[in-house]
Amino acid sequence: MSRVHDALRRAEQGGGFAPEDLPVARVEEAAAAAEYLPASTSVQAAPPVRLNIHAGMLGEVAIVPFSPAPESHLLDLNTSHDTPAEEFRTLRTRLNHLQTLQPLHTVVVTSPSPAEGKSFTAVNLALAQAHLAESSVLLGDFDLRRPIVHNLFQLERAPGLSDFLTGQCTFPQALRRIEGMSLYVLPAGSPVKNPLELLNLRQAKALFEELSHAFNWAIFDTPPLLFSADANLLATMADGTVLVVKIGTTTFDNVTRAMQSLCENNVLGIVANGARASELYSKYTYYYSRAE
């Protein structure tokens, strides 16, 4: 075997194998071993994807009326005494403060399990940000398995995210702007067989990198963390993650597992959904009654 090792060392140094290096019985063995040696030619890295997303594109987006579905629970932020609206204003204020401390434009909103309020939180947070009317806000439905954002706004599902990532439409064609707001909605788009493969495309990563060129905030509704790998992948692309839990439903074990799956690297905070009305509403009722 020493002659085999000597031949392999010479091959690593660029000399290759010579017939006299090995007896005939050892040639095939050395040839098989040579398959595991590093290739002498370097592999060229794939060029980065450029989507050229910019604010000028937004003028091409179709405008649709604000017509939420009756069961959508979208908040009326013009009602100043509405307690849920105040809670989302508080969340908005905290995120805007964080944005002054670190680069923060893309936020994934997810939950450990289904039916914990992630879509409710994502949509109303986007509405709260858009209510400031200082800059454009994107609400993206990245839950390609069970999309719901288009239903909440009573919009067509396609064209949308999947159509854009597969080259079936342009980015402005995939968007809808809500009339009277600086809110842009990116529906999930046409159904796909394997959402995770689609989200692994280089176009998806480029999308996250370029959204800040057109939007001050981009907020994404994603699948639950413990039921698919989609949200974990998206969290690695986004600037931050907001985890939604439901009081009385989400278990401590599920919260722990969800945090571990995110590696706790970019978790901005946890939103507790489902608090009892008596616990929340009393403080605002007291405040406004005293102020008046």
Q: What whole-number percentage of the chain has pLDDT above 70?
A: 76
Do 73 and 179 share a domain, yes or no? yes
Q: What is the CATH number of the domain that holds 216?
A: 3.40.50.300
Q: What is the pLDDT of residues 196-205, one digit of tens each?
A: 999 999 999 9
Do 168 and 253 share a domain, yes or no? yes
For residue 158, being part of any structural domain is answered with: yes
d(CA 250, CA 262) in angstroms, rounded, equals 17
Do 129 and 274 share a domain, yes or no? yes
For residue 268, being part of any structural domain is answered with: yes
Q: Which one-letter amino acid corresponds to residue 48? A: P
Do 29 and 167 share a domain, yes or no? no
Do 17 and 155 share a domain, yes or no? no
172-194 average pLDDT score? 96
**Phi/psi at 141 (5° precision):** -95, 100
Number of domains in the chain: 2
The rounded mean pLDDT for the chain is 83
Do 22 and 115 share a domain, yes or no? no
For residue 39, being part of any structural domain is answered with: no
14-42 average pLDDT score? 46
For residue 44, being part of any structural domain is answered with: no
Q: Which one-letter amino acid corresponds to residue 159? A: P
What Cα–Cα distance (Å) separates residue 97 from each residue in 100, 106, 134? Answer: 5, 15, 15
* Pairing mode, strands 176-178 and 183-186: antiparallel
Do 138 and 211 share a domain, yes or no? yes
Cβ neighbors of 218 (< 8 A, separation 6 or more) are: 105, 106, 107, 137, 138, 140, 208, 211, 212
Q: What is the pLDDT of residues 99-109, one digit of tens each?
A: 999 999 999 99
Do 142 and 279 share a domain, yes or no? yes
For residue 51, being part of any structural domain is answered with: no
Q: Which domain holds residue 11?
A: 2-34
Do 7 and 151 share a domain, yes or no? no
Do 9 and 96 share a domain, yes or no? no
Cβ neighbors of 191 (< 8 A, separation 6 or more) are: 144, 162
So what's the pLDDT on residue 112? 96
For residue 140, being part of any structural domain is answered with: yes
Do 258 and 165 share a domain, yes or no? yes
Given a cut of 70, whether residue 64 has pLDDT beyond it is: yes
So what's the pLDDT on residue 85? 85
So what's the pLDDT on residue 48? 76
Q: Which one-letter amino acid corresponds to residue 164? A: F
Q: How crowded is residue 250: how many other Cβ atoms within 10 Å of its Cβ?
A: 23
Side-chain-side CA neighbours of 62 within 13 Å: the count stands at 14
For residue 48, being part of any structural domain is answered with: no
- Torsion (CA) 50, 181, 131, 282 in degrees, nearest 10: -130
So what's the pLDDT on residue 108? 97
For residue 165, being part of any structural domain is answered with: yes
What Cα–Cα distance (Å) separates residue 87 from each residue in 107, 139, 182, 277? Answer: 18, 19, 21, 12
Q: What is the pLDDT of residues 119-164, one digit of tens each?
A: 999 999 999 999 986 789 999 999 999 999 999 999 999 999 999 9
- Evaluate whether 175 touches 185 at the Cβ level (below 8 Å): yes
Do 226 and 85 share a domain, yes or no? yes
So what's the pLDDT on residue 38? 54
70-79 average pLDDT score? 80
